[in-house]
Amino acid sequence: MHDDADRGANSRERGLRAILDSIAEGAPDDLLALGDLMSGLGRRAFGMLLFVCVLPAFIPIPIGGAISGPLTMLIGIQLGIGLRKPWLPAFIAKRGPHRHALQRFDRMISPALARLEHLVLPRLAWMLDSRIASIVTGLMLVVLGFLLSLPIPLTIYLFGALLLAFALSLIERDGVLMLVAWVAGAIAIGVFGVLSGALAAQAARALDLMI
């Protein structure tokens, strides 16, 4: 665990790709505790925590969204109320993915990150630290996390990719990417918020008929 914390501290000024490459080094079966992964990242710890919490959404298991959704909402609440660094209950901080899960995900997204690294840059970083921006980002993460946890067909990867954009903007300190994520998030909330409402209404009608 101490080695992972040291890696986090040494990766303070590096981007997501460098952080992932550093974390991926080691025994595949090692447990990467969330508390250790956040160590030494400062404000960027929110982005790294969001990135790790979204991973279950990309694992082909039925409850991926049910795991990632509430964790995303927890991060959103903390950003919204103005915490300077993430807080996790001890029983969650001691848990996390095994290294092989991050290694597999690193291999999967590394080509995309290689193409994006020249586009995603530290810019408008002051915006990310503003109180209004934290509130907007927090509210959007809460709503998107809620939608991710719902069984809306064919949306888990879409919401997962959108949340990765939020995570990447926080890690790379890219205010422009955050603006893009806000717009895309607002569209997704508008479209799928209506869809989830329609699904809920249909389910309620079906339940009435059954009763």
Instruction: Give the ranges where 150-174 is alpha helix by DSSP (H).
Output: 156-172
CB atoms within 10 A of CB 28: 12
Using a pLDDT cut of 70, give the percent of the chain over it.
79
Q: How confident is the model at residue 10 (pLDDT cuts 50, 70, 90)?
A: very low
Q: Residue 142 to residues 25, 36, 57, 92: CA-CA distances in angstroms? A: 33, 24, 16, 19
The pLDDT of residue 94 is above 70:
yes
- Counted domains in the chain: 1
Range of the domain at 177: 2-210
Which has more pLDDT, 203 or 175?
A: 175
The pLDDT of residue 72 is above 80:
yes
